[in-house]
Copies of this chain bind each other. A is one copy, B any other.
Amino acid sequence: MSMNIKKIAEIAGVSVSTVSKIINNYSDISEETKTKVLEIMRQTGYVPSNSAKTLATKKSNLIGVIFAGKLNIDFTHPFFVEVLNSFKKQMGFLGYDLLFFSNEKSHAIDGDYLARCRHFQVDGCIIITGQQLEPSISELDHSDIPCIGVDIQLAGKSSGYIMSENYKMSFKVVEHFYLQGYRELGYIGSTSESDISNMRKNGYIEAIESFGLAVNEKWFVNGDNFFEPSGYEAMKKIINSGQLPQAVFCASDLIAIGAMRALKEHHLSVPDDIGIIGCDDIDACKYTTPTLTTIRQNKDKIGRIAASLLYDLINNQSETSNVVVEPELIIRESCGSRH
Task: List the interface of chain A (C-beta within 8 A of B).
Answer: 45, 47-52, 54-55, 60, 62, 65, 74-76, 81-82, 84-85, 88-89, 91-93, 95-104, 106-109, 115-116, 118-121, 228, 257, 261, 283-284, 286-289
The docked-state distance in angstroms from the alpha carbon of A287 to that of B263 is 13
Please, which residues of chain B bring their CB within 8 A of the CB of A121? 49-51
The docked-state distance in angstroms from the alpha carbon of A84 to that of B76 is 10
A120 with B50: CB separation less than 8 A:
yes
B76 with A85: CB separation less than 8 A:
yes
A115 with B45: CB separation less than 8 A:
yes
CB distance from A46 to the nearest CB of B (A): 9
Please, which residues of chain B bring their CB within 8 A of the CB of A257? 287
B118 with A104: CB separation less than 8 A:
no
Please, which residues of chain B bring their CB within 8 A of the CB of A103? 92
Please, which residues of chain B bring their CB within 8 A of the CB of A62? 99
Known contacts A75-B82, A85-B75, A257-B287, A98 near B100 by CB under 8 Å? yes
The docked-state distance in angstroms from the alpha carbon of A197 to that of B82 is 25
From A102, which residue of chain B is reached at the shortest CB distance?
B92
Please, which residues of chain B bring their CB within 8 A of the CB of A76? 81-82, 85
The docked-state distance in angstroms from the alpha carbon of A98 to that of B103 is 11
Please, which residues of chain B bring their CB within 8 A of the CB of A102? 88-89, 91-93, 96-98
Interchain CB contact (< 8 A) of A84 among B75, B93, B228, B289 = B75
> Ordered nearest first, which 5 A-B pairs have the shortest CB separation?
A92-B102, A289-B289, A92-B104, A51-B54, A98-B100
Please, which residues of chain B bring their CB within 8 A of the CB of A283? 228
